[in-house]
Chain A
């Protein structure tokens, strides 16, 4: 059972906008930055969003992150087939004195 809760799956059609959630608590998301990672099949994770809503250079502006209270969301607009991947949220947890990941959301592009 992950400390951060993500829906196991999400789906959308090309061009659509999809969102995926990450739910935590006051000791992690509620008081620390949230990060999002994309993992394409058979590859290492790649940073997608840092510090709640910042995009690293090279990440398309189709990807956006937000945070409110103890929850965070990742939105992907203009969905493309190459977005099919696993997406993980992460945050520092003050109670655990450690970093935690969500269980991941597998995105399917129909």
Chain B
């Protein structure tokens, strides 16, 4: 059974940093690209970033470039999102999602981890 479990969310002050993790199981992690998608309270989905199966292709939402860094460790079946210079507007539930065939086919999602940026 495919499982994606996010962790690392919490309360952080504006300007602070946080590192999210996504532990994958039930499939060959190294064969799939992965995404981070976020959802602010009461708002819609916002795509954050994508990393290819081998980590060589990386894309970010324009509004986040330079502050967020996606990475993965295929040996640990884990996906990461390093978030720096956090702002109030980054408050959201962050989901990791598997890409079935690198076409944007997000077939499995985690349950999400809440990041709250507040002083």
Interface segment, one of A18-26, A61-69, A72-80, A97-105? A97-105
A96 proximal to B (CB < 8 A)? yes
B contact residues, range: 20 to 34
Determine the residue in chain A with the shortest Cβ distance to B49: A98
Interface segment, one of B8-16, B70-78, B80-88, B105-113? B105-113
- Taking the nearest CB of chain B, how far is it from the CB of A91, in angstroms? 7
A44 proximal to B (CB < 8 A)? yes
Determine the residue in chain A with the shortest Cβ distance to B64: A98
Interface size on A, residues (CB 8 A): 27
- Taking the nearest CB of chain A, how far is it from the CB of B52, in angstroms? 13
- Chain A 80-110 per-residue mask, 1 if CB under 8 angstroms from chain B, else 0: 0000001010111000111111111000000
A binding-site residues for B, Cβ under 8 Å: 2, 32-33, 35, 37, 39, 44-47, 50-51, 56, 86, 88, 90-92, 96-104
